[in-house]
Amino acid sequence: MPGIAEAFKRVLVGRPMRTDRLATATLPKRLALPVFSSDAWSSVAYAPDEILLTLSLAGLAALTVSPWVGLAVVVVMMTVVASYRQTVRAYPSGGGDYEVVSTNLGPRAGVTVASALLVDYALTVAVSISSAVQYLAATVPATAEHTTAIAVGTVVVLAVINLRGVRESGRTMAVPGYLFMGAIGLLACVGFVKEATGTLEPAVSASLEVAPEAGFEQGLVGAAGALLVLRAFSSGSAALTGVEAINNGVPAFKKPRARNAAATLLLLGLIGSAMLLSMLHLARATDVRFVQDPATQLLRDGEPVGATYRQDPVVGQVAATVFDGVPVLYVLVTVATGIVLVLAANTAFNGFPSLGSVLARDGYLPRQLHTRGDRLAYSNGIIALAVAAGLLVFAFDAQVTFLIQLYIVGVFTSFTLSQLGMVRHWTGLLRVESRPEKRARMRRSRAINGFGCLLTGLVLVVVLVTKLTHGAWLTVVLLAVLYAGMFGVRRHYDRVAQRLVVPDLARAKALPARVHGIVLVSRLHQPSMRAIAYARATRPSTLEAVTVDVDSQDTERLRQAWDEAELPVPLTVLASPYREVTRPVVDYVRSVRRASPRDLVVVFVPEYVVSRWWEQLLHNQSALRLKGRLLFTPGVVMASVPWQLDQVDELDKPADPL
């Protein structure tokens, strides 16, 4: 069984890698850009959709503000990029927001950010994969009925790829990242040229009317209208997710790490903004319709279009319109978008495990997340992320719009706290720095981070106001649970560490007065004989054999065999009116310990080992249960004396017969 499991694992993740291969597993800028930017870029695939569907609640006229909403998102994005460029230079170690915040604002703020980031990584995977299967359905309509299953399957495949190791993912993921950039770039250029020459046709959905929701018959007016615009902005802010990925991944860059990362970050922001704005512009120019519930909200000749209408994502609709008559280019855009969404999910598979490892190092998460697996990836973190994201996709049926509601709270929580931490950081440095040109640079950085903090804080308030009742409350609950859980884990580790310290070396080095050996026997067979011989070989101060009287015939038979064998070890029989084995032995060992509390008791347990797992099922597991119970009895050592059924032991032919 272990052999099969091991072989299966090898096929899946590849052969183990030596620790010294770790140093080489970093990425040059040209690979890092697509790997780390795909998260931010890929939001072009769903951010326009979210803006349009929110504004559409107020009817068609409301769509005129969509480019302005997009512009607001881009302003926030470039602010955040500028802020993080300061951060990667100041903290090139890859702890990212968590490191910045816990260093400057203390562990409580640090763990808050960490909770927010962990939740967001899981949501990044869930949202990106769910969006990707929508693009798949736009290209291959037959898959539309199995979106949830395909999405969960993709999460699993991504996890396996990442379990195979950092380096391979970098190379595998770079090409399609550039492909997406090229596809969207081509789409934008052709679209703009057509628009300028007046040959841009309206989209297929342009002929449909949009039924405004109750209360919005007059369009975007009054407080409700303003709130709707803010909600559209909140949803559009999903475009900012993933900007922090570089920040957490600096150690994966080639040296000079900080400078390369900052340059990559700027490119990420510029390219992302350009893509978002051009898609929003072309969607306006081609009159694309995109609503939350097309069956009832879209009207054809005054009637709802009904459940048979299939609504493609905005980028898909724009591509279909611009590349009308050239289906190969349409397919290029949707396929590239789908793949880059998968890449975005992959970014989280880089970020989550390394953050988990840092948190485990600091004692906030189980230690298992800290160690690298066979292939130098943080295997346990990868598996944890895959499980969390899989559950989210499953629970929300791979519906992007629902998942988006949970998404943005965490992102802006960490943005705001991170920038606040950076402001503190610069203030602290300014206190000790005297050189004027350095001080000027620090002041400039602090101003950038301060502005970033204010703006992201404002967005966080907007997001909370507009999203809390739409599902963001669930994220807030999740954050609180994670926060409490992490401090619980930390408290446990602290308590253990404190108890493990050796308070008095001389006392700890002292030996127990005497050793009392107890050999458990049920029958006088080879394993028992070996256990007795081994127990005698360790020369305890006193040695006795103990059996439990479960079946009186068996016990009598053992007693006779014992007398015949003339073993120089006394046999004690324990009564067991309830036919148990464990309790009488544990009680007896406790009574021995009570009688002479300064003696060490060593319990020798003969075990016979069969070679196949199913054979193990055919034997009572009393030895295992007994050892489990004795673990909780102080001052007792349990010695398993295994006897391998199918192997020959040299010790069976000893040189020194008695």
Residue from 565, 572, 587, 613 touching its own copies (CB under 8 A): that is 565
Stated as kind and residue range, the H or E segment containing 520 is strand 515-520
**3-state DSSP of 553-605:** HHHHHHHHHHHHHCCCCCEEEEECCCCCCHHHHHHHHHHHHHHCCCCEEEEEE
Of 528-547, binders to its own copies (CB under 8 A) are 529-530, 532-534, 536-540
Distance between CA 290 and CA 300 in Å, rounded?
14
444 lines the binding site for its own copies (CB under 8 A): no
Helix (H, G, I), strand (E, B) or coil at 519: strand
5 lines the binding site for its own copies (CB under 8 A): no
Question: CA geometry: angle at 515 spanning 509 and 519, to 5°?
Answer: 135
Of 9-38, binders to its own copies (CB under 8 A) are 16-20
Residue from 78, 267, 468, 489 touching its own copies (CB under 8 A): that is 489
- For residue 300, is it left (φ>0), alpha (ψ between -120 and 50) or beta? beta
Residue from 172, 292, 427, 526 touching its own copies (CB under 8 A): that is 526
Of 367-426, binders to its own copies (CB under 8 A) are 367-368, 371-372, 374
Look up residue 221 and give its amino acid: V
635 lines the binding site for its own copies (CB under 8 A): yes
Question: CA geometry: angle at 508 spanning 504 and 510, to 5°?
Answer: 125
Question: φ, ψ for residue 448 (rounded to 5)?
Answer: -60, -50
Residues 6+ apart with CB under 8 A from 645: 608, 609, 610, 611
Write down the least CB distance from residue 658 to its own copies, Å.
5
Residue from 506, 553, 591, 595 touching its own copies (CB under 8 A): that is 506
Compare residues 474 and 651 and give the one whose CB is closer to its own copies.
Answer: 651
634 lines the binding site for its own copies (CB under 8 A): yes
Q: Select from 72-80, 301-309, 451-459, 625-633 the region that touches its own copies (CB under 8 A).
A: 625-633
Compare residues 218 and 616 and give the one whose CB is closer to its own copies.
Answer: 616
Compare residues 46 and 604 and give the one whose CB is closer to its own copies.
Answer: 604
Residue from 206, 524, 547, 562 touching its own copies (CB under 8 A): that is 524
Of 121-160, binders to its own copies (CB under 8 A) are none
Compare residues 193 and 565 and give the one whose CB is closer to its own copies.
Answer: 565
Compare residues 146 and 629 and give the one whose CB is closer to its own copies.
Answer: 629
227 lines the binding site for its own copies (CB under 8 A): no
Q: Select from 160-168, 240-248, 306-314, 366-374 the region that touches its own copies (CB under 8 A).
A: 366-374
Tokens coding 409: 């709270």
8 A C-beta contact, residue 587 and residue 629: no
Compare residues 447 and 537 and give the one whose CB is closer to its own copies.
Answer: 537
Look up residue 605 and give its amino acid: V
Distance between CA 81 and CA 240 in Å, rounded?
9
* Residue of 396, 34, 12 lying closest to 180 (CA atoms): 34
Q: Select from 47-55, 250-258, 408-416, 641-649 the region that touches its own copies (CB under 8 A).
A: 641-649
Write down the least CB distance from residue 107 to its own copies, Å.
18
Residue from 140, 326, 481, 513 touching its own copies (CB under 8 A): that is 513
DSSP string, 616-628: HHTS--HHHHHHH
556 lines the binding site for its own copies (CB under 8 A): no
Compare residues 32 and 638 and give the one whose CB is closer to its own copies.
Answer: 638
* Residue of 554, 543, 621, 553 lying closest to 582 (CA atoms): 621
Compare residues 299 and 489 and give the one whose CB is closer to its own copies.
Answer: 489
Write down the least CB distance from residue 167 to its own copies, Å.
17
* Residue of 51, 96, 87 lying closest to 69 (CA atoms): 51
Compare residues 267 and 569 and give the one whose CB is closer to its own copies.
Answer: 569
Write down the least CB distance from residue 1 to its own copies, Å.
11
Distance between CA 73 and CA 81 in Å, rounded?
12
Of 338-357, binders to its own copies (CB under 8 A) are none
CB neighbour burial string for 193-216, b if at least 16 within 10 angstroms, e if fewer = ebeeeeebeebbbeebbbbbeeeb
- Beta-strand pair 298-300/303-304: antiparallel
Q: Select from 32-40, 167-175, 286-294, 496-504 the region that touches its own copies (CB under 8 A).
A: 496-504
**3-state DSSP of 536-552:** HHCCCCEEEEEEEECCH
Tokens coding 344: 């975005």
Compare residues 52 and 603 and give the one whose CB is closer to its own copies.
Answer: 603
Write down the least CB distance from residue 501 to its own copies, Å.
7
Residue from 23, 432, 505, 595 touching its own copies (CB under 8 A): that is 505
Stated as kind and residue range, the H or E segment containing 630 is helix 622-630
Helices (H), 396-435: 400-432
483 lines the binding site for its own copies (CB under 8 A): no
Residue from 198, 500, 553, 595 touching its own copies (CB under 8 A): that is 500
Q: Select from 6-14, 266-274, 464-472, 574-582 the region that touches its own copies (CB under 8 A).
A: 574-582
Of 585-604, binders to its own copies (CB under 8 A) are 593, 597-598, 600, 602, 604
Binding-site size, its own copies (CB under 8 A): 95
Residue from 499, 553, 591, 595 touching its own copies (CB under 8 A): that is 499
CA 600 distance to own-chain centroid = 45
Question: φ, ψ for residue 622 (rounded to 5)?
Answer: -65, -35
Cross-strand bridge partners of residue 552: none
469 lines the binding site for its own copies (CB under 8 A): no
Of 77-96, binders to its own copies (CB under 8 A) are none
Q: Select from 82-90, 439-447, 475-483, 500-508 the region that touches its own copies (CB under 8 A).
A: 500-508
DSSP annotation of 199: -
435 lines the binding site for its own copies (CB under 8 A): no
Q: Select from 65-73, 227-235, 333-341, 606-614 the region that touches its own copies (CB under 8 A).
A: 606-614
366 lines the binding site for its own copies (CB under 8 A): yes
Cross-strand bridge partners of residue 407: none
Diameter over CA atoms, the chain: 109
Write down the least CB distance from residue 537 to its own copies, Å.
5
Cross-strand bridge partners of residue 517: 543, 602
451 lines the binding site for its own copies (CB under 8 A): no
Provide the terminal-to-terminal Cα distance of the chain, rounded to the nearest Å. Answer: 40
632 lines the binding site for its own copies (CB under 8 A): yes
